[in-house]
Each structure stands twice: as C-alpha cells, then as structure tokens.
Amino acid sequence: MKSAAPYCRPRVGFIRVNVTAPEGFSWKTAKNTNGEGGEEGMADCIFCKIAAKEIPSQLVYEDEELVAFKDINPQAPVHVLIVPKKHIPHLLALDPADADLLKRVHAAISKLTRELGIADSGFRVVVNTLKDGGQTVPHLHFHVLGGRFMNWPPG
Ligand code: 5GP
Ligand code: ZN
C-alpha cells in the first residue's frame, strides 16, 4: 500500500509539529453536506464519535446541533473545540442551508468565553481548513483559544 505523505501541521505559538496523515486518509472521501464524497470519512470520524459519546471527552457545552469539548492537546490555558454534530468535513463544505449552524456557533462562543473567563481578556477562534490550513481532523471544528496572549502571525 502506498504510504501516506507527511505534511506539516502549523500550530499556534510558532511551534510546528510534523505529523503523518493516517493510513487511508483522504480529503476526497470525506463526505460533505452536498452529498459529495463517500461515507468512508464519516465512518472513522473521531469527532462524530465524540459527538455521539462513543468516545469520551471533556464536554463543556452541548445543544441540539453542537458539542464543545476540551482539546486533548491544548495550545493555550483555554483550548476548546466547537464541533457540529453533523459530519461536515471542512469550512467550505458548509451548505447555505447550514447558515443557522454558524449562528449557533457564535452563540456558543459567546456563552463559553464568558463561562471560561476569557470574554473580556480576549481569545482567538481558528478554523484550520484542509491541507495547507493545517487541518488534521476532517470534521469541521472551531478552536477557541485564550488565557494567554495569542501571537501573530501564527506558525
Ligand atoms: P485541527 O488540527 O484539525 O485544526 O484540530 C484538531 C484538534 O483536535 C487538535 O487540536 C487535536 O489536539 C484535537 N484532537 C484530536 N483528537 C482528539 C480527541 O480524541 N479528543 C480531543 N478532545 N481532542 C482531539
Ligand atoms: Zn465527523
């Protein structure tokens, strides 16, 4: 079997971590909301499993359409991921019909940043998208990072 090509994953704070795409990983097979692509991306999707509570996480928020949980590898004192329950592979796979989802994401950011004590000090929302965006989990998610000064430019 052809080995997966390594790619560079930019991280917040100028740290770069080289990771290798998992065996069989393919953006092309990740299903989007227009029905393109196959089911393959969804079947193995770690965030679908977290949203379905098949894999444990430290949940900090949930509503009918979203979950939010602490990142397993936090890059800041506060680092949570806001994740649609529906499998949407990446930002550009969002359908216009998903517009309400973005309103919910905004409401969740507002609520969570207040609860986590970073609404006044400030925070960063990051949506790594596809290969050059450094996306490593092919299920749309919004990183919310705070509790320290967030450097710019990112790595
Ligand atoms: P991306 O690199 O796709 O923008 O972000 C994926 C994020 O998901 C990373 O920050 C990574 O630490 C986090 N992550 C990956 N697997 C898990 C997991 O099983 N549980 C949790 N809580 N976070 C995860
Ligand atoms: Zn998924």
What is the full per-residue pLDDT of the chain (155 aa) written as tens digits? 334 433 333 333 333 333 444 444 454 444 444 444 444 568 899 999 999 999 999 999 999 999 999 999 999 999 999 999 999 999 999 999 999 999 999 999 999 999 999 999 999 999 999 999 999 999 999 999 999 999 999 98
Whether 152 maps to a domain, the answer reads no
DSSP secondary structure, 46-87, as one string: HHHHHHTTSS---EEEE-SSEEEEE-SS-SSSEEEEEEESS-
Residue 100 domain boundaries: 45-146
Domain for residue 81, yes or no?
Answer: yes
Q: Is 27 within a domain?
A: no
Is residue 60, in this structure, part of any structural domain at all?
yes
pTM of the entire predicted model: 0.80
Q: What pLDDT was estimated at residue 155?
A: 85
Please count the structural domains in the chain. Answer: 1
DSSP state, 92? G
Would 19 be classed as within a structural domain? no
Q: Residue 42: its pLDDT value, please?
A: 80
Q: Tell me, what's the pLDDT at 32?
A: 43
**26 lies in some domain:** no
- Residue 127: the pLDDT is 98
Give the CATH number for residue 83.
Answer: 3.30.428.10
Find all residues with CB under 8 Å of 2, minimum gap 6, and list them. none
Residue 46 CB less than 6 A away from ligand 1? yes
Which uninterrupted H or E stretch holds 76?
none
Residue 43's pLDDT is: 84
Nearest ligand 1 atom to the CA of 135 is 3
Mutate-to-test residue for ligand 1 from 72, 130, 145, highest number of ligand atoms within 8 A of CB:
72
Task: Please tell me the predicted confidence (pLDDT) of residue 31.
Answer: 44
- Could you confirm whether 141 is annotated as catalytic? yes
Closest CA to 68 of 86, 83, 87, 78: 83
Give a yes or no: residue 14 inside a domain. no
